Chains A and B, each alone.
Chain A
Amino acid sequence: MKSIWTITKRELGGYFNSPVAYVFLVIFLLMTAAFTFLIGQFMDRNQATLQPFFMWHPWIYLFLVPAVGMRLWSEERRQGTMELLLTLPISLWHCIIGKFLASWIFLTLALVMTFPIWITVNYLGDPDNSVIVASYIGSFFLAGAYLSITSMTSAFTRNQVISFILSVVICLFLVLCGWPPVTDVVETLAPRSVVEFVAAFSVMPGIEQFNNGQIDSRAVIYFLSVIGFPLFATNVVIRGLRA
C-alpha cells in the first residue's frame, strides 16, 4: 500500500511540476462554465438545478480526461523509465494503481474546484442538494472510467498523441452507443436486441441515473467494472511488452 502511495505522490508531483496541471485546470473550469452558462443557459432556465452543468460532463471529459491520462504509460515507455520503475521492488499492479490514482485525484481536484457553481445555485435558489451530490459522484466515476481506458491506451504506444486519439475514440463509443439520438438511428438498421446489447456498454444510462439523484448499485457496479477492466488490460499489455 505504501508503495502505491509513493508512486501516486510522484505522479501528482509530475503534474504540478509542469504547467500542464494549471493549464488543464483553467481550461476545465472555463469550459464547464461556458457550457453551463452559454449553451446550457443556466440563467435563462430559472431553475434551481445543476442539470445544465452536469449534462456536459460526458462530452467535456471526452477530451480532457484522455489529455490528462495519455502520458501515464506512453511517457514511461518513451523515456525508458519503465525499465527503472519495473525493476524496483514493487509489483506491476501497485504501479498501475498508483499511477491511475494520481490522475484520478487530479481530476477529482478539478471537479472539486467547480464548487462555486454549487454555491451559486444555492444562493440563487433552493436546489435539491442530494441530487447535486449524486451528480458529483456520477461525474467522479465517469472521470475514473475514461481515465482507466486512457491508462490502457497509453500502455499500447509510446506516442502520447496516438494514446490520446485511441482513448477518445473508445470513450466516444461508450457515450454514443447508449445516447438516444444515435441509438434511435441505429435501431432502424439493426435488430433491437443488438442495439440494446451494445447500449448496455454505454456510460450514459448510469450517468443519467446519477444526474437524477439516484445512486443505483447497478450503476456503481457498472462504473467500477469499466474502471477495473481496462486497468486489468493495462497489466496484460505491459506484461506482453516485456515477454
Chain B
Amino acid sequence: MIKVENLSKSFGPKNAVNDVSFSLERGEILGFLGPNGAGKSTTMRMITGYIPPTAGVVKVGGNDVTQNPIEAKRLMGYLPESAPLYTDMTVEGFLGFCAEVRGIKGADKAKAIDRAIDMCFLKSVRHQSVDTLSKGFRHRTGFAQAIIHDPDILVMDEPTDGLDPNQKHEVRSLIRRMGQSKAIIFSTHILEEVEAACTRAIIIDQGKIVANGTPDELKAKSELANSYVVSINGTESSAVRDGLGTVIQSAKVTIVTDKAPTVVARVFPKKAGADGELGQAIFAVAAQNNWKVNEIKKEEGRLDDVFRNITLSDTKPQ
C-alpha cells in the first residue's frame, strides 16, 4: 500500500534522509525507530505529501504522492508530531471540519464523528473547546482526526509522545486493533512500543535505514541474544567460571555479579541456534559440580542494545 523508493531529502548541505526504501502492506504495523534527528519525521512528511522529496518516489495505493497528491492524501490519515489542532474549535467542530474537507457530509459525517469519538474515548470532551483540553485529550483528538475517514493507511508521528502510561497502553491497543485491517506506520523512540505493537520495525539513523525486520529478528542481533544467565549460591566465582568454561558450546563466560553468597554468570553461545544444547550442557555441568542453582534464564536479546549498537548517538564518543 505504501511504497517508498530511494527517498532522499536534503535541507541545504544537510542530508536529512538518504536513499530510504521500504514497502508496507495491509495488515502490517511498521515501527519507525531512530534517535532524535534521524530523519523519521522528515520521512513521514514526505510520505504524507507535506514536503516534497529531493529525490525518490513515494507511492500510496499506487498514487505517486508528488504527481497525484490529492488522491494519495485521500487514502491516508496522518497524525503529525505533537498533534497540532485548531485551538479555537470544539472537538466535535474540529472533527466535523476534517470530515467535511475529506468529502464526508450529512448523516455520514455525524456517523464518522461518533465513530472517531467512540474509538478515541473523547465522549466527555466532545463539546469542549480544544484549547481547554489536557495533553492526553489533545493527542487523542489528533488521533481521531487521523481515523475520521477510516483510512486504509495510517501514518503517525510519535502517537504516544507525552501520554501517561494508561493512555499509552490505550493508544497501543488501538493501533494493534486497527492494524489488522490497515497499513500503519508510526514513529517512536520508545523501544517497548515496538515490541508491544509492531509486526515490523525499521531503525533509521542519520537518514539511512540501518535495520529492517520483525522485532524478534532485530532482538536476535543483540550481543546478549541466546546467552544464559546462571545464578548460583555458595560457590566461588572462579570455580563457577572454570566449571562453565568446560561447556564446549560456550564461547565466553562472564561473571555479572559476585556478591557472596550469590554468583551470577553469563554464558554466551558459540554459534546461534545451538541454544538448546547450551542450556542442557549448563544443567549438566551444574549437576556434576553440585551447584545450588537459584535460577537459569535464557536471554532473548534486548532491542535497546541493538538500537544503541547500530545507531550513532550524538552522546556517544566518536
Please name the residue on chain A nearest to B78 by beta carbon: A87
Which B residues are in CB contact (< 8 Å) with A17?
Answer: 88-89
- Tell me if B70 and A10 are in contact (CB < 8 A): no
The CA of A86 and the CA of B101, in the complex, are separated in Å by 11
Q: Are B89 and A89 in contact (CB under 8 A)?
A: no
B101 pairs with A84, CB closer than 8 A: no
Is A180 located at the chain interface by the 8 A CB criterion?
no
Query: In the bound complex, how far is the Cα of B89 from the Cα of A242, in angstroms?
Result: 26
Best-buried of A84, A90, A243 by chain B (most CB within 10 Å)? A84
CB-defined contacts of A10 to chain B, threshold 8 Å = 86, 89, 97
CA distance A242 to B149 in the complex (A): 26
Residue A6 interfacial (CB < 8 Å) = yes
Q: A80-B80, A89-B73 are in contact. Are A14 and B88 (CB under 8 A)?
A: yes
Q: Does B102 contact A (CB under 8 A)?
A: yes
Interface residue total, chain A, C-beta cutoff 8 A: 22
Contact A80–B84 (Cβ < 8 Å): yes
Chain B contact-residue range equals 20 to 34
Alpha-carbon separation in the docked complex, A236 to B145 (Å): 28
Contact call A6/B84, Cβ cutoff below 8 A: no
Q: Separation in Å of the B192 CB from the closest CB of chain A?
A: 27
CA A90 to CA B102, docked complex, whole Å: 8
Task: Kindly supply a per-residue 1/0 record for chain B positions 11-52, scoring 1 wherever the CB is within 8 Å of any chain A CB and 0 otherwise.
Answer: 000000000000000000000000000000000010011111
A7 at the interface (CB under 8 A from B): yes
Contact of A81 among B52, B81, B84, B100 (CB under 8 A): B84
Q: How far does the alpha carbon of A18 sit from the alpha carbon of B71 in the complex, in Å?
A: 35
Pairwise interchain contact A90-B70, C-beta atoms closer than 8 A: yes
Within the complex, what minimum Cβ distance (angstroms) separates A125 from chain B? 44
CA A124 to CA B51, docked complex, whole Å? 60
> Of the candidates A7, A84, A242, which one forms a contact with B52 in the assembled complex, judged by CB atoms under 8 Å apart?
A242
Q: Which of B88, B97, B100 contacts A18 (CB 8 A)?
A: B88
CB contacts (< 8 Å) of A91 on chain B: these are 69-70
Minimum distance in angstroms from A90 CB to a CB of chain B: 6
| Nearest opposing residue in chain B for A15, CB measure | B88
A243 CA / B100 CA spacing, docked (Å):
28
Partner of A13, one of B51, B70, B82, B93: B93
A37 CA to B85 CA in the complex, in Å? 44
Check if B100 sits within 8 Å of A6, measured CB to CB: yes
Interface of A, helix, strand, loop or mixed by DSSP: helix
User: Cβ of B74 < 8 Å from any Cβ of A?
Assistant: yes
Query: Once bound together, how far apart are the Cα atoms of A79 and B51, in whole Å?
Result: 17
The distance from the CB of B303 to the nearest CB of chain A, in whole angstroms, is 29
Task: Tell me if B178 counts as interface (CB < 8 A to partner A).
Answer: no
Known pairs A87-B80, A89-B73, A243-B51; A14 contacts B86 (CB<8 A): yes
Q: Is A187 an interface residue (CB 8 A)?
A: no
0/1 per residue, A60-89, Cβ < 8 Å to B? 000000000000000000011101101111
A47 at interface by CB-CB < 8 Å: no
Contact of B48 among A6, A80, A87, A243 (CB under 8 A): A87
Does B211 belong to the interface (CB within 8 Å)? Answer: no
CA distance A6 to B98 in the complex (A): 9
A80 near B82: Cβ-Cβ < 8 Å: yes
Q: Which of B50, B80, B86, B101 contacts A90 (CB 8 A)?
A: B101
Closest Cβ neighbor of B71 among chain A residues: A89
Give B100's nearest chain A residue, CB to CB: A6
Task: Compute how far the CA of A17 lies from the CA of B86 in the bound complex, rounded to whole angstroms.
Answer: 12
B85 x A13 contact (CB < 8 A): no
Q: Assuming the A-B contacts A88-B102, A242-B52, are A13 and B89 also in contact, with contact meaning beta carbons closer than 8 angstroms in the complex?
A: yes
Q: How far is the CA of A26 from the CA of B88 in the complex (A)?
A: 21
Residues of B within 8 A of A90 (CB): 70, 101
Structural contact, B88 and A88, CB atoms closer than 8 A:
no
Q: How far is the CB of A136 from chain B (nearest CB, A)?
A: 30
Q: Does B67 contact A (CB under 8 A)?
A: no
Contact residues, A10-41 vs B (CB, 8 A): 10, 13-14, 17-18
Q: How far is the CB of B16 from chain A (nearest CB, A)?
A: 12
Q: Separation in Å of the A19 CB from the closest CB of chain B?
A: 11
Q: Do residues A81 and B86 form an inter-chain contact, with CB atoms below 8 A?
A: yes
Q: How far is the CA of A87 from the CA of B153 in the complex (A)?
A: 13
Q: Which of A78-117 contact B (CB under 8 A)?
A: 79-81, 83-84, 86-91
Which B residues between 45 and 93 are near A, CB-CB below 8 angstroms?
A: 45, 48-52, 69-71, 73-74, 76, 78, 80-82, 84-89, 93
A-B contact pairs, 23 of them (CB 8 A): A10-B97, A13-B93, A17-B89, A18-B88, A79-B86, A79-B87, A80-B84, A81-B85, A81-B86, A84-B78, A84-B80, A84-B145, A86-B49, A87-B50, A87-B78, A88-B73, A89-B70, A89-B74, A89-B102, A90-B70, A91-B70, A242-B52, A243-B52
**Known pairs A79-B84, A80-B80, A84-B80. 8 more at Cβ < 8 A?**
A10-B86, A13-B88, A79-B87, A81-B84, A86-B50, A87-B76, A88-B73, A88-B98
List chain B positions with a Cβ less than 8 A from chain A: 45, 48-52, 69-71, 73-74, 76, 78, 80-82, 84-89, 93, 97-98, 100-103, 145
